[in-house]
Chain A
Amino acid sequence: MFNNSPKIKTRKLDWPLIYGLIGLCLIGFFTILSAVSGTKEMTSIMRTHIIALPIAVAAFVFGWLFNYQIYAEHYKKLYVFVIFLLVAVLAFGIVARGSHSWFRFGGFSFQPAELCRIALIVITAAFLAGRPRQIKNFKTLAIFSAFILPVFGLIMMQPDFSSIVVTAPALLILLFVAGVNVYYFVLIIAFGLMAGIFPIIWTYISLYPEILDNSIILSWVNSLSFDIIPCMIFSGVLVGLFVLAWFVLRYFRVLVPFSLTMVLAFSMVAGFFSGYFVNKHIKSYQRKRVEAFLAPSADPKGASYNVLQAQIAMGSGGVLGKGLFSGTQSRLGFVPERHTDFILAILGEENGLLGTLLVLSLYILILWRIIIIARNSSDLFGYLLCAGIFAIFFVYMAFNFGMLIGIVPVAGIPLPFISYGGSNLVSSMWALGLVEGVYFRRLSLI
């Protein structure tokens, strides 16, 4: 007689997310079309894109309908599959643009690393969801490192630097959201800082050697880059400083376990040496990118050329843009990688600030919906899965936009749904399908 039961929303799809997705795909389609129009590759690129779109929709539907909770039990098989794919691509893959990261079937190529980015999120989320009480334990982090490092190792062997750049921060965010001990974060960040900051300082010094004049400290820092003895002294001093700090803190009755202090000190030393190692073995084009980031105007025709031309494209587009197919920077080839990593520059040139802000807003919309879905998920795995996918799209957005506006070095990171790239499109759609799957099953009890 009385229907007092609260009305439960039973929609199977989160439509705002779908709208955002469709919006991005439409913008992406036309921008790619404009970016490649007039080039020799136009037909092949558009054909591939048009074929990739239904496959991506299928991947989305698969992610949505296939119960994500199954991954929670079988994530180890997924892990083995990932390892298998990465080994296979090294063994049977083809080399394109200096990187051993493509499978080729008939007329199509597939980049397994793209799929692995999402799969790693799924695996990590499943792993963490399976150890709800031990998340804060060091052992969890150790196991996580143990299975993640081989994957990274295989990816580095291709080498596919950009996959690491996208996946590593996304995984860190996922760990943080899952509640991994903050101390470990301090460790990782200290390690990362030490590994990153010194190569950057050394590169900077090599760009502007005149700053070495009259600066004993900088000269000494510079000597660290090539001489092992100052490195040892530096490490010793670092550890010594931590010991000193521990004593000082104890004097002020701030009790910190000595072991933790030492682990932090050694992780920093390890970070420093990783940086030292990276600095010695970094590829010259990668160093050029760092240089371009540090000094964009030093060599406008060299490495920073891409970013500068992309910014010229966007800036010349103004608020309303020059109109689709009318961008000169695009049409005349001044913006390189214009249908992939730098596609936003084309959008910015032809559709102006309105176009770029629209894409940004749609991304924010999608991120917001993922958060909402995560908070409504019926289990921890769903929550962590959404968090991980949120993280990876967040990283994509931050890095791709950041690269164009000059706050992040160029790392070859595409913007999903806008950039051309079948593998990326399919795996990104699968990821959002997974999110919709979490939404679909938000009310289920199992």
Chain B
Amino acid sequence: MFMFVLALLCGALIAYKLIFIQFISHQKYTSQAEKNRTQILYQTAPRGQILASGGEVLASNQAAFSLYYLPPFEMPDEKTLTEIADAVSKNTFKSQKDILQIINKSLKNGKAALLVDNLAPKNIFALAELQNFYPGLYLLEETKRYYPFGASAAHLLGYIGTMEKNTWKELSGELDYRLNSKIGKSGIEKRYEKELKGRDGGLFLEVNYKGRVTQIIKDNRWRKGADVYTTLLAPVQQAAEDAVRTSLTGRGAAVVLDVKTGAVLALASLPDWDPNIFTPYNTGKNNEDKIKISEYNLAVQGLFPPASTFKTITALAAYENGYLDLKHEDNCTGHIYLNGREFKCWKNHGPHIDFIKGMEQSCDTYFYNLGLKMGSYNIEKMQRKFHFGRKTGIDLPGEKSGNIYGPTKRANLKTYWFGGDTLNLSIGQGELLLTPIQMAVYAAALASKGKIWKPYYIEKVVSPSGKILEEGKSELVDQVKLKDGAFEIIHKALKSVVDNATGRGAKIKDIAVYGKTGTAQNPHGDDHGWFLAFAGEEDGEPEIAVSVLIQFGKGGGAQAAPAARKIIKAYFDLKHSKEEGNKNVQ
């Protein structure tokens, strides 16, 4: 009986421990059992698309695969690990040593580890085979960024790349960023990172002790990011880029604005880059850090003297202050003298240069005289009216404001304003600087008779559920009020420039194109070619405003005007083909 009491005591001790393990510590062990069998893989959500206003997708996603290692509970032997590393290495371009290192780390902390990401679908067959052969390997389908139009609108779209450690620390709090997450590094990709990102998914996998996946316990689907609709017209954007690219130097900028809204229809800036180079399929080489691109956005950051395009300001200032006599004719001898100094015209235009001729031929002598007549301060005032020297406010980083050239600044600096300065100012040379976007806004203001728009390029941001998160709106900054007839005179003159003279390169049949060339003197090299333009149907209002700058393009008439022509033509071709399509539908 003593023995039985002993057995009972022993049984009681066992029962006590059993209750302790199975009842009291139940929660703790349950979570451990769950941890044992569960591996969580994060699945990157596809980024939202970026679209042009015609529905063309500028940035989308492609299928890309990630290969994970799920560490088994039973420590595999060295040989198996080496085999796995060899096999994976052979099919993924990653070195065997690196893979082994990741696997060993994963074995140590018991968490799934990413071996290789961004694998192209063509690599997948071999890897899927390996997955069946070696427990612990798991292929996960994800997506990667893809830009179907390549470099098109690169400066606006931006690009994505692996975030830096510091950025991760900042961001990991709000959104589900991981260390290897890619984020927008510039352009729309950066500006709308939050909206585009979406919410990453989580895959809860049940794995056995060998690390083989037995089933998917839970699949928290990712939520796609919001789509960003731009105001860009893809054909016009491409035409703008092509036009600049095929110009003499291939460098420069072109901006196209909708005259009625200020929406950016195209914004080209070259040199540019193909954002796809930041999101290639894995080829074993990580070049991301080595890629050098010029993020210098000429369209908003490049400052150039407006040159002869500025003659429109001089003309408006003269008209506004009553100094413009349309019937007055000047005699151009190729130069004028002021205080004993010679100021050249770019050509000897001969006698009978009236206002229209002066504009057509861009005769410096005519505008020298106009400037001398009205004085520099009037020209300065007109610059202010058209918001020269102020940022246009387009939502792009690093926009330059340019500056205003005139006697006020000199007075503030307590230096002198010379007569020669007035002459330089009259023809847009000297210290005055403008960006191509400012030129485009100015062109739109001329076209719309004084409406100064804040240019915008985001039409709307739409969440996957269809909710509009943000809407771009047309914003009128100012309405320039001038004497009656001021704009009409300019329109007449600029139309004539294109139809008959220096701007002929931009002439298009059945389209009313208004334009002014400019050749910005560049003391450091070849001159820059400008073309300011707006255009509309033959008998209609101007619809688009264009500014083209060809860097080192020597002349505005030779290089910039034909470029502008291509752009304007692309716009109207698109418009007409759409109307055509609509008619057919009707």
Task: Tell me the A residues contacting B by CB distance below 8 Å.
Answer: 173, 177, 301, 305, 309, 311-319, 328-329, 331-334, 348-349, 352-353, 356-357, 360, 363-364, 367-368, 371, 375, 387, 390-391, 394, 397-398, 401-402, 405-407
Contacts and interface: CB of A to CB of B under 8 A. Distances in A.
12 contacts: A173-B3, A301-B73, A309-B73, A311-B21, A314-B29, A329-B37, A333-B209, A367-B4, A371-B4, A387-B3, A401-B14, A405-B21
B7 interface: yes
A319 B22 contact: yes
B248 interface: no
A329 B18 CA distance: 17
B36 interface: yes
Contacts of B208: 331-334
The 6 A-B residue pairs with the shortest CB-CB distance in the complex, in nearest-first order:
A315-B29, A316-B33, A405-B17, A333-B209, A332-B208, A353-B22
B210 A333 contact: yes
Nearest to A305: B73
Contact of A315 (B3, B21, B207): B21
A315 B25 contact: yes
B75 interface: yes
Given A391-B3, A394-B3, A353 B18 contact: yes
Interface string B25-37: 1101110111011
Given A332-B209, A333-B210, A405 B14 contact: yes
A177 B3 contact: yes
Interface in B1-45: 1, 3-4, 6-8, 10-11, 13-15, 17-19, 21-23, 25-26, 28-30, 32-34, 36-37
Contacts of B7: 364, 367, 390, 394, 397
Interface of B: 1, 3-4, 6-8, 10-11, 13-15, 17-19, 21-23, 25-26, 28-30, 32-34, 36-37, 73-75, 206-210, 214
Given A173-B3, A318-B23, A405-B21, A329 B15 contact: no
Contact of B23 (A173, A177, A353, A371): A353
Given A334-B36, A394-B7, A315 B28 contact: yes
A312 B37 contact: no
A315 B7 CA distance: 24
B22 to A, nearest CB: 4
A329 B1 contact: no
A316 B30 contact: yes
Nearest to B4: A371
Contacts of A368: 4
B37 A334 contact: yes
Contacts of B11: 360, 363-364, 397
A194 to B, nearest CB: 24
Contacts of B34: 316, 328
Given A301-B73, A301-B75, A332-B214, 20 more contacts: A309-B73, A311-B21, A312-B29, A315-B29, A316-B26, A317-B22, A329-B36, A332-B37, A348-B22, A360-B11, A360-B15, A364-B8, A387-B3, A394-B10, A397-B11, A398-B10, A401-B14, A405-B17, A405-B21, A407-B17
Contacts of B207: 332
Contacts of B14: 360, 397-398, 401-402, 405
Nearest to B2: A177
Contacts of B28: 315
A331 B208 CA distance: 8
Contacts of B29: 311-316
A177 B25 CA distance: 39
Contacts of A316: 26, 29-30, 32-34
A286 to B, nearest CB: 20
Contact of A360 (B6, B18, B25, B37): B18
A321 B90 CA distance: 46
A406 B22 CA distance: 13
B450 to A, nearest CB: 75
Nearest to A372: B4
Contacts of A177: 3
A312 B33 contact: yes
Main secondary structure of the interface of A (DSSP, over half): helix
A405 B18 contact: yes
A334 B209 CA distance: 5
B75 A318 contact: no
Contacts of A348: 18, 21-22
Given A332-B209, A390-B3, A357 B15 contact: yes
A407 B14 CA distance: 9
A314 B29 CA distance: 8
A349 B36 CA distance: 14
Contacts of B206: 328, 332
A349 B21 CA distance: 11
B15 A314 contact: no
A76 B277 CA distance: 88
B4 A318 contact: no
A210 to B, nearest CB: 23
Nearest to B38: A328
B207 to A, nearest CB: 7
B73 A318 contact: no
A391 to B, nearest CB: 7
Given A334-B37, A364-B8, A371-B3, A315 B26 contact: yes
A406 B7 CA distance: 18
Contacts of A402: 14
Contacts of B8: 364
A91 to B, nearest CB: 34
Contact of B73 (A334, A360, A367): A334
Contacts of B26: 315-316, 318-319
A334 B18 CA distance: 20
Contacts of B74: 333
B37 A315 contact: no
A318 B36 contact: no
Nearest to A321: B22
A367 B7 CA distance: 8
A331 B15 CA distance: 25
Contacts of B73: 301, 305, 309, 333-334
A284 to B, nearest CB: 16
A315 B210 contact: no
A224 B173 CA distance: 57
Among B11, B33, B214, max chain A CB count under 10 A is at B33
B43 to A, nearest CB: 23
B552 to A, nearest CB: 67
A371 B2 CA distance: 10
A111 to B, nearest CB: 26
A28 B34 CA distance: 26
A402 B209 CA distance: 25
B8 to A, nearest CB: 7
Nearest to A332: B208
A363 B36 CA distance: 32
B4 A314 contact: no
Among A360, A387, A405, max chain B CB count under 10 A is at A405
A316 B74 CA distance: 20
B3 A312 contact: no
A394 B7 CA distance: 7
Contacts of B22: 314-315, 317-319, 348, 352-353, 356
Contacts of B6: 394
A320 B22 CA distance: 9
Among B3, B23, B74, max chain A CB count under 10 A is at B3
Nearest to A354: B22
Nearest to B209: A333
B52 to A, nearest CB: 51
Contacts of B3: 173, 177, 371, 387, 390-391, 394
B179 to A, nearest CB: 26
B36 A314 contact: no
B33 A313 contact: yes
Contacts of B214: 331-332
B32 to A, nearest CB: 5
A305 B32 CA distance: 13
Nearest to A368: B4
